[in-house]
Amino acid sequence: MRVLILHNDFRVYWKGRLTYLKEFLNSNGIEFYAVELFGQGSPYIFDSYDNVEKWWTCLFPESSNRQISSINLEKALFDKLDEINPDIVIAGSIVFYSGALGIRWAKHHNKKFIMFDDAKPSQVKRNFIVRWVKNQITTQIDGLWLPSEHYYNEYSNLDRQKTVFFTGYNTIDNQLFKFKSQRELNHKVIICVARFVPIKNLNNLIKAWKLVETRVPDYKLVIIGDGPEFERLNKLGTNLGVKTVLFLGAIPNTDIPTYFFNANAFILPSLSESWGLVVNEAMAAGLPVLLSKRINANESLLEEGINGFSFNPLSISEMTDKILTYLNTDDETKKQMSQNSLKIINSMSYEVMGSILLKALPEIINKKSNEPGIIAKYIINFWHGKYNTASWDKL
C-alpha cells in the first residue's frame, strides 16, 4: 500500500508527526510520502522551510500561495501525484487547496481520500449556500481523521457506513516535554504561551490577574509570545498597575520545556482554538491546565477538578475564580493533578496516532469508493480551495 499526505505546508508540529509516521508505516510494509504545496507564507513565520527528505516534497519551496496561480498549482500537484501514484491520499480540509485538489485527483484516479480537520464546522460561520457546497464535497471522502471522538457529532451529515471515522492525529512529541527529575510544583508561577493576537484573549487574562494578585500576591503570571498586540498588552498591564505579570516575548521553542518545568500550571484564555496543541505540550510537561471552554482541546484533555479547571473566557470574574481555586488548592492535590495530566496526554501520543492510522488504512482501502453524483462531481472539478488563515488571529 502507498499512502501520501498532502497539506498547504508542514510546519511546527507536523514535522515530528511525519517523521514518526514515515518510520512507523514503513516498518509495517506501507510506503509513505509527504507533499506540501508552499515553502513560504506560513502563519508560523518563526518556523522556516528546511526539509531535505527525499520522501517529503515541497512543490514551491521559494513561494507562497499568493505567488502561484491555481492553474500552475494544480498542474504541479497532479504531476507529482501521478508520479507517486498513491493508493490513499490524506489531506487537510477541502476548504483549503490541499483538500480541494487532493480529492479531485483521487476521484479522477479511483483512489481513496482521507480528510483531516481539527476545526469544528459549528464554530465556523458560513451561509447556507457555502455549507451546502462544502457538504457536497465532504460526503465524497472515504475517511475522516479527527483529533478525538468529541468531533464526531459535528459530521452527522456523513454516512458512517460509507465514511470511516478515526482519531488521533493532533499529537506532539510528548517525550520532548518530559523531565526525569521530580516536579515539585513549588515555583509559584502560572505560565501562558500564546501569540499576542486578539483571539488569544490575553487582555482579559491580564485583567483577571489584577484581581488574582490582590488575593494571592506571591504568584507570578509569565506570558511567553509575541505578536501585533505586544505593546498594547504591556501598556494595559502598566495602566492597571499589575505587579506580578512578566512578558518574556518570543523565546526559542527548545527552551519552552524548561519554562514549563519551572511553573505550577498552564493557562490559555483563548476565545477560540481549533484545538490548541500548546495544551498538549503543557500536559506532557506534567502541568495542570486552566483552559477556556472555547478551546477544543478542553473537551478532550481537561477533566474538571482532576487535572485542572475550565472557565468562560468572556467572564473575567469566572476566570479569576478558577485561577484562585487552583492557587488555593493544597500541594498534594496539585501534585495529583500533575500526574493526571501526564496520564491523560499519554492517550494522544505518536504511538497511539500511528496505531490508529495503521488500523484504519486497510478498512479504507478495502471499502467501496464513494461515487459522486453529477452535482458533487461538478463542484469537485471546479473548486480549487483557498488559504485564508485570518480567523487564526481574530473571530
* CATH number, domain with residue 29: 3.40.50.2000
- The residue among 375, 343, 299 whose CA lies nearest residue 118 is 299
**269 plus 122 within the same structural domain:** no
**200 plus 295 within the same structural domain:** yes
Number of independent structural domains in the chain: 2
Per-residue pLDDT of the chain (395 residues; tens, 9 = 90+): 999 999 999 988 999 999 999 999 999 999 999 999 999 888 776 677 778 889 999 999 999 989 999 999 999 999 999 999 999 999 999 989 999 999 999 999 999 999 999 988 888 877 877 888 888 888 899 999 999 999 999 998 888 778 999 999 999 999 999 876 666 667 899 999 999 999 999 999 999 999 999 999 999 999 999 999 999 999 999 999 999 999 999 998 889 999 999 999 999 999 999 999 999 999 999 999 999 999 999 999 999 999 999 999 999 999 999 999 999 999 999 999 999 999 999 999 999 999 999 999 999 999 888 788 888 887 888 888 876 555 555 55
Q: Is 246 helix (H, G, I), strand (E, B) or coil?
A: strand
**47 plus 103 within the same structural domain:** yes
Predicted pLDDT of residue 136: 85
**379 plus 299 within the same structural domain:** no
Phi first, then psi: give them for residue 248, nearest 5 degrees.
-95, -10
**371 plus 270 within the same structural domain:** no
List Cα–Cα distances, 83 to 35, 76, 79, 87, 103, in angstroms: 12, 11, 6, 12, 17
Predicted pLDDT of residue 184: 66
**166 plus 218 within the same structural domain:** no
Distance CA 122, CA 135 (A): 13
Predicted pLDDT of residue 388: 59
Residue 219 grid coordinates: 504568584
- Contacting residues for 245 by C-beta, under 8 A, at least 6 apart: 206, 209, 220, 221, 222, 223, 237
- The residue among 152, 14, 162 whose CA lies nearest residue 90 is 14
pTM as predicted: 0.92
- The residue among 36, 21, 149, 86 whose CA lies nearest residue 364 is 86
**212 plus 300 within the same structural domain:** yes
Its domain, for residue 289, covers 174-345
**133 plus 195 within the same structural domain:** no
**167 plus 187 within the same structural domain:** no
**196 plus 116 within the same structural domain:** no
**220 plus 274 within the same structural domain:** yes
Residue indicated by cell numbers 479504507: 364
- The residue among 162, 101, 100 whose CA lies nearest residue 134 is 100
Predicted pLDDT of residue 295: 96
Residue indicated by cell numbers 516498518: 27
**167 plus 81 within the same structural domain:** yes
